[in-house]
Structure 1
Amino acid sequence: MAELQDEFDTPAEAGELGGRPTTATDARRVPGAPRPEPAAGREDAFGRARALLDAHPVADGHSGLLRALRAMPYCDLESGDGGVETDVPRLRAGGVGALFWSLHVPDDRDGDRAVAAALEQLDLVRHVAARYADDLRLVRDASETADARNRGRIAVVVGPASARALGDSLGALRSLHALGLNVLTLAGTPWAGEDGLSTFGEQVVREVNRLGILADLTGAPEATARRVLGLSKAPVVFTRSGARALREHPENLGDGLLAAVGAAKGLCLVPLAAEQTGTRVRDVVDHLEHVRNVAGPECVGLAGTYDTSAAHPEELGDVSRFPRLVAELLDRGWADAEIAALTWGNVQRALRGADFTARASR
């Protein structure tokens, strides 16, 4: 690990975020209605998109950058030519203000080996954030995320990580949180299966609430998802789930579960992954609109899924392409306030909810 870390270069100075949103429109697209023609041309839509992202940057709910960096020890995140889909210039161009860094725990690791894999990546994320401190800042809650954005840094939220990294130990969970873990994926464990949560699984949910960790239910069986939605006192997230009504995929959510997410004020982060949401920008927007209409406008967000094994829709090939997506939303008639909630506000709400729950439990 030391040899890997020593290869990272020190970053150069980066510019600050700025700007203000434009005047909001109240137009909303009715499901099934024809798409309106762009009112002022594509260039105007891109200009408005960039202005919106200056004021309300993207909180990207899933990045596989850490896994990519482990395989590319010479990657320079400042130069913009490191062979990854996520680097500092692209993050700036894409209007990204916060990034959830996934900790990959290989499927063949369990017990102590799974814990070790998570610890290695926690060490790496801290090292990378320190090396690129002019651009990146590790954060623990909504207030630190907002402060990083206001200071021109990109906030790094650590997680999601597979709950297999706990080794079935609440002590390991507390230790991982002390080292920076903020999002935990419950799926893939024997205590969060097809029959719902075991007694230990319920203890994990209560403990993540107490610590202020967001519970991620991506890929969880429906019985487990519904039990966690009912048990958790903090908002629950799905860090990469589209709408199953539009595209069949095991990690996408059916309308019944989306409605339950809305009732619990959870958060569904729609992935920019072709397998889950389609091969075109308009397909991604279809999923965003479906989740918004079923769960509610405060319950939908974005997950880039960059630097994972996922292929991406055309025109959304790397993290710099979020303005293209926002331009499509404007063409569809999304109001500025709805886009601001989608890109930034809804993730902030979930982080605030986790922090409030943790403070209330102490």
Structure 2
Amino acid sequence: MADLQNDLRPSATAGDLDDLAEPYPDDGVITAESYEPVSDPDDAPMVRAHAILAAHPVADGYNGLPWALKRLSYYDLELGEGTVGTDVPRLRGGHVGALFWSLHLPEGFDGDRAVGATLEQLDLAKTVARTCDDGLRLAATAGQVADARNCGRVAVLLGPAGAPAIGDSLGILRQLHLLGLRALTLTGVSWASEAGLTRFGEEVVREMNRLGVIADLSGASAQTIRRVLSLSRAPVLCSRSAARAIRPHPVNLPDELLAELGAAKGLCLVPLTAEQTGPSVRDVADHLDHIRAVAGARCVGLAGTYDAGSAHPQELGDISCYPRLIAELLRRGWEEADVALLTWGNVQRLLRGTDFTARAARQRRAPSPAKISELDG
């Protein structure tokens, strides 16, 4: 127990990785200096958008397909499925190279029910991906995402799941990770609340760093966000947050938190939903412009939120519509290097940083034996 108490001191776990030369390696990350523009002799924004996306596809950070498919008795994602917004033809039409499949549950799921429902979604997601192996491939690391793309497949990463899915147990977190869970949203539980992280919540974040599970902070309180930013040695994610300065939605982030997220090398994925970003493609672009200006080009990405029960802006009705958004950004003068970071490079950096931190942490830290009853009781 003494070892555990030492681990819980803020200076202890934080310092373990500080002696490493480069905690967030940037090898292969696209920069303005290294990016070679795609030839576009016609200089038409849509033509340029397709050309850029062919080289640097979209890594979509939030897609609700697993839960949407639970309602269907039959579907065919390979040939096309009109009852959902995501299928293989539309993924290819939108130049999507990777996407996170959300394992979030409807409100009211908690305890054993949340754990069981999350396991069922994991099982369904794996079954769907394996059934559609001509178009989809399961991935858990940055290398596997790149391999899937090189093989002409769309990489599928599992998560985020809601924090109730771990049932206040680090053992369940470890088992979900073994089953493929890649991200966990830190809301809806006693140990990550409006008051911030409890001692057990801090231990959850440390264990996530050790395993390689990304901390998703969309919807978390400002206190929780700031504590995770100071505690986590891996980059963090806001899987579906836009700019509150433009649209005052509670899940959107104020400028001060966006700036802190950018300083911590985190990533804010802007959702393509009318409720959070506005009713038009221009509104979405306004959020992307704002976040890039406040937090930096390396802090912004895309979250389609397709098949998650949300209404989408005009011209962005399904996952094939990404070229329309990229064309709008090009009309606004976005450099091609920044577009490439937005669509692909920033998520790859996040995944590499998470993998790097996990490998280093596992050399220094054994699986945590912490229990919520001991730390928060």
- Provide TM-score, normalisation by structure 2: 0.85
Give the equivalent residue in structure 1 for 2:269: 269
Residue of structure 1 in register with 2:12 after alignment: none
Give the C-alpha shift of residue 52 in structure 1.
0.6
Maintained 8 Å contact 1:195/1:224:
yes
- After superposition, residues 150-165 of structure 1 pair within 5 angstroms as 150-165=150-165
Unaligned runs of 5+ in 1: 1-19, 25-38
Q: How far 1:23 moved relative to its partner?
A: 4.9
Map residues 221-240 of structure 1 onto 2, 5 A cutoff: 221-240=221-240
Does structure 1 residue 63 correspond to structure 2 residue 70? no
Deviation sequence 1:219-262 (CA, Å, 0-9, x none): 00000011001100000100000000000001000000001001
Quick check: 1:21–1:55 contact (8 Å CA) kept in 2? no
- 1:356 counterpart residue number: 356
Q: Which amino acid aligns with 2:221?
A: P
- Name the CA distance, whole Å, in 1 between partners of 2:37 and 2:118: 39
* Pairing 1:70-109 to 2, within 5 Å after superposition: 70-109=70-109
| Distance in 1 of aligned mates of 2:149 and 2:61 | 16
Q: Deviations over 1:117-136 (max 9, x none)?
A: 01001101110111011111
CA contact (8 A) 1:99 1:155 kept: yes
Indicate the residue corresponding to 2:279 in structure 1.
Answer: 279
Distance 1:46 1:156 in 2: 27
Q: Is 2:290 the partner of 1:290?
A: yes
CA deviations 1:182-202 (Å, max 9, x no partner) are: 010011111111111001100
| d(CA) in 2 for partners of 1:252, 1:302 | 14
1:78 & 1:316 partners in 2: Cα distance?
Answer: 21
Q: 2:79 and 2:139 mapped to 1: Cα distance?
A: 24
1:84-233 mapped onto 2 (5 Å cutoff): 84-233=84-233
Gaps of 5+ in 2: 1-35, 363-377
1:338-349 alignment to 2 at 5 Å? 338-349=338-349
- Does the residue aligned with 1:71 lie in a helix, a strand or coil? coil
Q: Is the 8 A contact 2:219 2:250 kept in 1?
A: yes
Q: What is the CA distance between 1:106 and its match in structure 2? A: 2.7
Counterpart of 1:29 in structure 2 is none
SS of the residue 1:103 aligns to:
coil
| CA distance, structure 2, for counterparts of residue 108 and residue 171 of structure 1 | 23
- Structure 1 distance, partners of 2:82, 2:246, is 35
> Is contact 1:241-1:268 (8 Å) kept?
yes
Q: 1:40 offset after TM fit, Å?
A: 6.2
Corresponding residue SS for 1:343: helix
Question: What SS is found at the alignment partner of 1:339?
Answer: helix
Name the structure 1 match of 2:15.
none
Give the partner amino acid of 2:106.
P
> Which whole-Å CA distance do the structure 1 matches of 2:209 and 2:260 have between them?
19
1:105 CA drift (Å): 2.0
Secondary structure class of the residue paired with 1:84: coil
> Partner letter of residue 109 of structure 2?
R
- Offset from partner CA, 1:10-30 (integer Å, 9 cap, x none): xxxxxxxxxx95159xxxxxx
Is the contact between residue 76 and residue 82 of structure 1 (CA under 8 Å) also seen in structure 2? no
Give, in whole Å, the separation in 2 of the partners of 1:178 and 1:357.
17
Paired with 2:291 and 2:154, the residues of 1 have a C-alpha distance of 27
Task: State whether residues 68 and 84 of structure 1, in contact with CA within 8 Å, keep that contact through their aligned partners in structure 2.
Answer: yes
